[in-house]
Amino acid sequence: SIVPCNVSDHRAILCTILTNTSKDGWLVHSAGVLADALLHNQTQSGMQRVWGPKAHAAWHLHASAVVTSQPFTVFSSVAALLGGPGQANYASANSCLDVLAKQWQDLGLAAVSVQWGAWAGVGMAVDSGVLGQLETQALKAIWDTMGLTALESITLLSPSIPVVAVVPFDWAMLVASMAGAEVPSL
């Protein structure tokens, strides 16, 4: 079963977790909002719009989970790993999720942050029309079957790995675009 909750309200989270917990339960935080702008055009409002549902909400979940010891999966973004044009606010908010997953594991809680690439068919990349642009940068879209298989595998690994990236790269294109440049170790 899936139980939605307003993750901006710490009391609502705690109440939802306490009334819906099972030993097989797993918390999943998948909220995300975009407010893209080049760094010099970023505003406080744009930062808050992105950070609220992503980083602040994850912090509220963290505080509630410590009480209940529920395992977590937070949906981060490949923007935290690779960055993205106009996405300083989004990349940094997702990086917070990655750090929180590590902190949860340090507390002995099962947790993992999944740095998702763009999904095909649905999601923010589709809504904003950037899938084609991403493909020119060697980043392919994640199809439902691929993503769900990855998520199932990741939740089995989470006791030992706090952050996992799921991004289908076109490696030949990526390496060719770096001709003469130092290839990063991903």
Which DSSP category does 139 fall into?
B
Q: What pLDDT score does 27 carry? A: 79
* pLDDT band (50, 70, 90) for residue 171: confident
**Would you say 90 and 175 are in contact if contact means Cβ atoms under 8 Å apart?**
no
How is residue 119 written in tokens?
């999904």
Alpha-carbon distance of 183 to 181, in angstroms, equals 6
Alpha-carbon distance of 26 to 23, in angstroms, equals 9
- pTM score, two decimals? 0.84
- Exposed, middle or buried: residue 184 (CB in 10 Å: 0-12, 13-18, 19+)? exposed
Alpha-carbon distance of 117 to 106, in angstroms, equals 26
**Would you say 141 and 134 are in contact if contact means Cβ atoms under 8 Å apart?**
yes
Quick check: 185 pLDDT over 80? no
**Would you say 100 and 58 are in contact if contact means Cβ atoms under 8 Å apart?**
yes
Q: What pLDDT score does 144 carry? A: 92
Computed over every residue of the chain, the mean pLDDT equals 84
Report pLDDT digits (tens) over 17-38: 778 766 667 778 888 888 888 8
Quick check: 100 pLDDT over 60? yes
Alpha-carbon distance of 143 to 16, in angstroms, equals 31
